[in-house]
Amino acid sequence: MIEQVLRYYSSPGRHYHTIGHIEDCLQQLARIEGLNGEEREILTQAFLWHDAVYDPVRSDNEECSAALAVGHCDAGIRDEIRRLILLTKSHIVDDTDRLGSIMVSIDLSILGADAAGYAKYAAAIREEYGHVPQADYTKGRAAVLKRFLERPVIFPYPPLRERLEQAARRNITKEMTELTEQ
């Protein structure tokens, strides 16, 4: 299974949505306290598969990734893995959804990286959307970033919110400023 996962994340055209993103997610998951074995396995599988299908011209990447996951995971946890992967489409989760909050917060954690890490991420995203003319990219990317800034919180999982929220808002604001200056 790992070889298959590696193949997906090594496909051409990926610059951010690579195995490096998955490794980062899994490292952050390892630091989350209070998970039982089943919860940790569910989240691990969800992270392994959540961006397996990533094509910037498609709008069903999460659905396709969830379908792949379902085909490779134990029957007893398939539905929850599928649900968690699908949350990464909107990154909107109910406050009472602990596993969903962890999934979404870890997936978005790059937004709260240090300035250099965020700049590298933003450049990699631009490369993934290299087929999009700059004016269209600027408009679309600014709209996505604006939606994050308009949320009451970017990171629904409280420990990650405390650690990353302020930096994420600074990074996003800076990128939006840079986009409008282009």
Using one digit for the tens of pLDDT, what is the confidence trace for 71-85? 999 999 999 999 999
The pLDDT mean for the chain works out to: 96
Token pair of 152 as six digits: 């009451």
Token pair of 121 as six digits: 């991420």
Confidence at 54, pLDDT banded by 50, 70, 90: very high
Contacts of 47 (CB under 8 A, 6+ apart): 22, 25, 26, 29, 103, 106, 107
Which pLDDT score is estimated for 5?
85
Residue 121 near residue 176, CB atoms below 8 Å: no
Per-residue pLDDT tens digits for 116-128: 999 999 999 999 9
Residue 175 has pLDDT above 80, yes or no: yes
For the chain, the structural domain boundaries read 2-181
What's the rounded Cα separation, in Å, for the pair 160 and 173?
19
Confidence at 174, pLDDT banded by 50, 70, 90: very high
Topology, domain 2-181: Catalytic domain of cyclic nucleotide phosphodiesterase 4b2b (1.10.1300)
Of 121 and 182, the structure prediction assigns the larger pLDDT to 121
